[in-house]
């Protein structure tokens, strides 16, 4: 298994933090791409080859929920594992994300929480 991951967040600092943690996980990651909003994230996914996306909610141009809806509505991308990484984690929001087939971790996150979310999103336990 070789994982190609897309990290979507409007904060460059947050993206580099997520990338750093991903490199620490021991997961077989061969490539990490980055996008700064949901629109750029969709563009990156449409190029193909991504196995997992970590997506912020609050972003300019296109937010993470709209991106998630677009992914699920696209037959080529519909089953993509998605982990939403956000400060916005009300019970209602988390339930809504689950219904859309995404998992959730709250910012700021412990590295272990990100690792667990990634492993369960890709079906590794
Ligand atoms: Mg943001």
Instruction: Dump pLDDT digits (tens) for 76-94.
Output: 999 999 999 999 888 999 9
CA of 60 to the centre of ligand 1 (A): 8
- CA pair distance 28, 125, nearest whole angstrom: 15
Tell me the average pLDDT across 95-119. 91
How confident is the prediction for the chain on average, in pLDDT?
Answer: 93
Q: Look at residues 81, 84, 16 and name the one whose alpha carbon lies nearest to residue 52.
A: 81
- Cite the beta strand spans of the chain per DSSP E: 3-8, 29-35, 52-55, 82-86, 102-106
User: Which sequence spans correspond to the domains of the chain?
Assistant: 3-121
Q: pTM for the full model?
A: 0.94
Structure tokens at 108: 């700021």
Instruction: Dump pLDDT digits (tens) for 58-73.
Output: 999 999 999 999 999 9
The CATH number of 3-121 is which of 3.40.50.2300, 3.40.50.300, 3.60.21.10, 3.40.50.970?
3.40.50.2300
CA of 92 to the centre of ligand 1 (A): 19
Q: Are 60 and 66 in contact (CB under 8 A)?
A: no
């Amino acid at each position: 298994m070789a994982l190609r991951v897309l990290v979507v967040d409007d904060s460059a600092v947050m993206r580099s933090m997520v990338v750093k943690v991903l490199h620490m996980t021991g997961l077989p990651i061969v490539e990490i791409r980055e996008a700064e909003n949901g629109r750029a994230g969709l563009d990156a996914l449409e190029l193909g080859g991504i196995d997992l996306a970590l997506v912020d909610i609050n972003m300019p141009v296109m937010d993470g929920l709209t991106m998630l809806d677009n992914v699920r509505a696209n037959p080529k991308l519909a089953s993509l594992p998605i982990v939403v990484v956000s400060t916005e984690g009300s019970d209602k929001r988390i339930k809504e994300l689950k219904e859309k087939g995404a998992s959730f971790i709250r910012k700021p996150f412990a590295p272990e929480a990100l690792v667990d979310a990634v492993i369960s999103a890709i079906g590794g336990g």
